[in-house]
């Protein structure tokens, strides 16, 4: 297990360098000049020239990239061109928000998706199955921003039950933090739960038709034991893969949901940064989310071993 972890971490290094190089190149390919964009109505040529020099924006591409990479290796992610705040500070501010949103969304999604998937597999072909499928399909089809705005209109404006926006750290006020995050994580969870439900359903259907389930039923075990202990555990593998991948995606930020609920996470940060061509911020956030994604893949591999004892002692 330790060997596996170490090997994965080593493989991650070239991946990260490649990711950062691709993102850097893409940004440079975009039309638009960060200083001009930020200057807006205030284009003092002298100041623009000074800033261009200061942030080395006129250096050749490879020089800029290597300078950035060199700084990153010493722990310096640069500063936001727009506000002058160090990128590491920004990441430290936004990462907990994004993490909390991701965790709440995935927990909600699992709580809805897996039971629905099991139910729909066990009751295959019945009204329950069709109903679950219709709900799942709507979950995937309804756009997040629309659902978000409707929820705000109903829950916050009409009923005045939950705050319409904002973020409160759980360390400051745990309940208020849950309240502010409830609607956004629910919005995110609707789509995720649908994927999970569909995958749970098909994995369960595969397992339920296998011989050992018939044997278990023949032994006279309770249906609950058969489904939860014998079938579900074996059906979990694809669900674990999907969950970790979905979680990895959530770590990149949920742009629309964050925008609608005014949550200061990675999504809003990176979109603003792309629009203002704030290179250092985009690079830093992408690097951070790539690390998160690679980490989640590792978690998936480790979970396989935990769930499936046969993988513990490979021949």
Partner 1 sequence: MNVLKTLVLGAALLASTSVMAADLRIGLQDDPDVLDPHRARTFVGRIVFTSLCDKLVDINEKLDIVPRIATEWSWSDDGTVLTMKLREGATFHDGTPIDAAAVKANLDRARTDSESLRKSELKSIADIAVADASTLTITLSGPDAGLLAQLTDRAGMLMSPASFDNEPGQNPVCSGPYKFVERVQNDRIVLEKFPEYWNADQYHFDRVTFVPMPDTTVRLANLRAGDVDIIERVAPSDLETVKGDAAITLASVTGLGYQAIEVNVANGAKADNPLGKDKRLRQALNLAIDRDVINQVVGAGTYQPAHQPFPPASFAYNEEIGSRSRDIERAKALVKEAGFDRVPFELTFGNNTIMQQVFELVQAMAAEAGFDISLRPTEFAALQSVLKSGEFEVGQSGWSGRVDPDGNIHQYVSCQGGLNDAKYCNEEVDRLLNEARTRSDPATRVKLYDQAQAILQEDMPVIYLFYLPWPFAHKATLEGFTAYPDGMIRLEGVDFSS
- Residues near partner 1 (CB under 8 A): 30-34, 36-47, 50-51, 80, 82-85, 90, 93, 149, 152-153, 155-157, 159-167, 173, 175-176, 178-179, 182, 259-262, 264, 268-269, 272, 275-277
Q: Which is nearer to partner 1, 168 or 307 (CB)?
A: 168
Query: What DSSP assignment string belongs to 253-283?
Result: --HHHHHHHT--SHHHHHHHHHHTT-HHHHH
> 75 and 254 in contact (C-beta within 8 Å)?
no
Residue (2 or 175) nearer to partner 1, CB: 175
Cβ closer to partner 1: 190 or 243?
190
Min separation Cβ 73 and partner 1, Å: 25
Instruction: Name the burial class of residue 13, with classes exposed (0-12), middle (13-18) and buried (19+) by CB atoms within 10 angstroms of its CB.
Output: exposed
Q: Which is nearer to partner 1, 1 or 85 (CB)?
A: 85
State in angstroms the smallest separation of the CB of 39 from partner 1.
6
d(CA 80, CA 278): 6
Q: What are phi and psi of 86, to 5 degrees?
A: -60, 140
Please state, in angstroms and rounded to a whole number, the distance separating the CA atoms of residues 182 and 209: 38
CB of 283 to partner 1, least distance (A): 16
Spatial contact of 252 and 258, defined as CB atoms under 8 Å apart? no
Show the tokens assigned to 304. Answer: 């396989």
CB nearer partner 1, residue 48 or residue 303: 48
Closest contact distance (angstroms) between CB of 78 and partner 1 is: 14
Name the minimum Å distance from CB 125 to partner 1.
26
């Amino acid at each position: 297990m330790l060997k596996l972890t170490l090997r994965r971490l080593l493989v991650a290094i070239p991946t990260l360098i490649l990711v950062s190089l691709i993102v850097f190149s893409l940004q440079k390919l975009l039309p638009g000049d960060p200083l001009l964009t930020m200057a807006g109505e205030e284009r003092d040529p002298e100041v623009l020239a000074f800033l261009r020099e200061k942030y080395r924006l006129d250096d050749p591409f490879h020089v800029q990239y290597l300078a950035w990479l060199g700084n990153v290796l010493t722990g310096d992610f640069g500063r936001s061109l727009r506000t002058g705040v160090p990128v590491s500070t920004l990441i430290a501010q936004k990462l907990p928000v994004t993490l909390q949103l991701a965790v709440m969304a995935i927990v909600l999604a699992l709580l809805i998706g897996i039971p629905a998937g099991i139910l729909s597999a066990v009751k295959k072909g019945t009204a329950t199955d069709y109903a679950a499928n219709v709900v799942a399909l709507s979950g995937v089809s309804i756009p997040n921003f629309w659902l978000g705005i409707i929820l705000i209109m109903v829950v916050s404006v009409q009923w005045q039950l939950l705050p319409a926006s904002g973020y409160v750290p759980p360390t400051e006020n745990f309940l208020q933090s849950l309240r502010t995050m409830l609607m956004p994580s629910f919005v995110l969870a609707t789509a995720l739960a649908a994927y999970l439900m569909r995958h749970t359903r098909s994995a369960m259907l595969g397992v339920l038709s296998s011989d050992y389930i018939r044997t278990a039923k023949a032994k006279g075990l309770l249906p609950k034991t058969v489904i939860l202990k014998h079938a579900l555990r074996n059906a979990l593998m694809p669900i674990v893969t999907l969950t970790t991948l979905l979680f990895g995606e959530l770590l990149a930020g949920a742009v629309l949901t964050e925008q609608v609920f005014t949550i200061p996470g990675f999504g809003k940060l990176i979109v603003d940064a792309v629009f203002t061509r704030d290179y250092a911020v985009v690079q830093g956030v992408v690097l951070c989310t790539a690390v998160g994604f690679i980490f989640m893949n590792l978690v998936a591999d480790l979970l396989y071993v935990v769930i499936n004892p046969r993988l513990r002692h490979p021949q």
